[in-house]
A and B are shown apart, each in its own frame.
Chain A
Amino acid sequence: MHKLNPEEIRKDFPIFKQRIQDNRLVYLDNGATTQKPMQVINAINNYNQNSHGNPHRGAHQLSIRATEEYDLAKEKVRKFINARYIEEIIFTRNTTESINLIAYSCGKKLINKGDEIVLAISEHHSNILPWQRLVKENGGILKYIYLNEEGRISPEEIKRKITDRTKIVSIAHMSNVLGTIHPIEEIIDHAHKMGSIVVIDGAQSTPHMKIDIQKLDADLFVFSGHKMLGPMGIGVLYGKKEILEDMPPFLMGGDMIEYVYEQEATFAPLPYKFEAGTQNVEGAVGLGAAIDYLEKIGLDRIENHEKMLTEYALDRMLSLPYVSIQGPKDLEMRGGLISFTIDDIHPHDIATILDSYGVAIRAGHHCAQPLMRYLDVPATSRISFYLYNTKEDVDLFVEGIKNVRKWLGYGS
């Protein structure tokens, strides 16, 4: 496998042509959202210029073309995660909407008083709040898998928390704060033995590593388009056919029905049952083009490239005595996302000062307040890589960190 060339890749991304106050734009906030290559921007433009119509409705040319484009994008997603059937792919707005759909539809059906739902303490708020509402309305108990000092989930903790009382396990594949890749194969295997279904939040993993959904055997799997070079407003819910068929609809409205009478209705088959109202066709087209782009480069090469950058960044950061890393310090089972703190300096000051050098990072609690409380830190700073980042980006970031210390009156 030959290495990818990030400087060549950057040329496909018009956003990197700009300078930030005469500095190179060092974009290290890919965990929040990613940039778009021309191929994605052009695909969306082409659709809008040539094929825009309301899909699944009209008999005219444009409606037919829009339907074809929408279905083609869905087929690309199916192949991308190796799902068995195209009906197992539901388009949503994003990961948050996908989880809300599951909690509302599947959760309401499955959870009764005394039933347990198991999450990890590191979950994003989007994988906590829908479940909190569910247990408040239906009864049921929320339980949390805790992490060890390295930010990892131990096999003992999996067995302790997931028991025969567990009905649903919902867990992120990769932590958006710590970068840890959780042992979801073990979790899925044990949960299935206990008779529980498993929801995997793949928002942080799907853009960066090859997902084989049949091999993983997750019952439900969700992710967002805008974290993998696609546009905002398009997300994916994958579900095993037999599970989705059992789930009642989430949103009610046009396009998801079979027959509608004055007092009742019957619903369309999968996947339309879960896609009420006019869908985001240009978003789907953009996501399809993003998948084409990622597959042309190769997910394995992207993963390797990010691993190299993470190793390099960890090495340089750990050599600075005032920097602390939150989460695993080795490369084993971790993705290209690093949370850190700097002695005496609040993350927001770090982000503001780095921004003045053209370095874009994230600072705050990363929508994971329970984890922040568990780690006993008020906030952290976070860098996250993608295929267009370079070692030069890491160098500029590390130089920036040294300047942060100087600006706030500490020797470097």
Chain B
Amino acid sequence: MDLNSIYSQLIMEHNKSGHNKRHLPNPDITEKGHNPSCGDDITLELKLNGDIIENASFTGVGCAISQASTSMMIDLIKGITIEEALTLVKTFIGMIKKEIEDEKELEKLQDALVLQNISNMPARVKCAVLAWHTLKEALSDK
């Protein structure tokens, strides 16, 4: 295992920057996500305008992988529709499960593409997908 491919510059930046880590004033949706085996615990907050995700943020604790993955996801979903966001969730989880390998499709994940290597680390897959599952849960009845 090459640590460079896991703890890459981009992941470290997202883990440390915290630009998406805050509370939103009056969020429309608050959704908790939890990995019981390792203690990653995040809360997503979403502000909707019709079917557009106008703003998003998160709070909570977790490892560098889960924190970076959450931050990258929030960058991606701000300003897009619920349907588009759910498609990105599908693409991300497909990438981690190695079910989607088409580069063109994966490019849509932008920064989050660097998490592709996590698919080779079974012990850390849960950390990477936590935020995405939580988002899916949050938007499931919208």
Residue from A345, A352, A378, A408 in contact with B39 in the complex, judged by beta carbons closer than 8 Å: A378
In the bound complex, residues from chain A placing their C-beta under 8 Å from that of B135 are none
CA distance A94 to B64 in the complex (A): 35
A365 contacts B by Cβ under 8 Å? yes
B98 contacts A by Cβ under 8 Å? no
The answer on a CB contact under 8 Å between A352 and B123 is: yes
Contact with A along B98-127 (1 / 0, CB 8 A): 000000000000000000000001011001
In the bound complex, residues from chain A placing their C-beta under 8 Å from that of B123 are 352
The answer on a CB contact under 8 Å between A349 and B61 is: no
- How many residue pairs, one in A and one in B, have C-beta atoms under 8 Å apart? 52
A348 contacts B by Cβ under 8 Å? yes
A379 contacts B by Cβ under 8 Å? yes
A365 and chain B: residue at smallest CB distance: B39
CA distance A409 to B1 in the complex (A): 19
With A363-B38, A365-B39 known as contacts, the answer to whether A352 contacts B121 (CB < 8 A) is: yes
Residue from B1, B62, B63 in contact with A21 in the complex, judged by beta carbons closer than 8 Å: B1
Residue from B64, B121, B124 in contact with A408 in the complex, judged by beta carbons closer than 8 Å: B64
The answer on a CB contact under 8 Å between B124 and A348 is: yes
Residues 11-28 of A at the B interface (beta carbon under 8 Å): 21
The answer on a CB contact under 8 Å between A352 and B124 is: yes
B56 contacts A by Cβ under 8 Å? no
The answer on a CB contact under 8 Å between B7 and A353 is: yes
**Tally of A interface residues using CB under 8 Å:** 19
Residue from A364, A407, A408, A409 in contact with B38 in the complex, judged by beta carbons closer than 8 Å: A364
> In the assembled complex, how far is the CB of residue B18 from the closest CB belonging to chain A, in whole angstroms?
12
In the bound complex, residues from chain B placing their C-beta under 8 Å from that of A379 are 38-39
CA distance A21 to B2 in the complex (A): 10
The answer on a CB contact under 8 Å between A364 and B37 is: yes
A346 contacts B by Cβ under 8 Å? yes
Residues 2-49 of B at the A interface (beta carbon under 8 Å): 3, 6-7, 12, 15-16, 37-41
B85 contacts A by Cβ under 8 Å? no
Contact with B along A356-396 (1 / 0, CB 8 A): 10000001110000001000001100000000000000000
A-B contact pairs, 9 of them (CB 8 A): A345-B64, A346-B40, A346-B63, A346-B67, A349-B7, A349-B65, A364-B37, A378-B61, A408-B15
13 other A-B residue contacts (CB within 8 Å) besides A378-B39, A378-B62, A407-B7: A346-B61, A346-B63, A346-B67, A348-B65, A352-B121, A356-B3, A364-B38, A365-B39, A378-B61, A379-B39, A408-B12, A408-B15, A409-B12
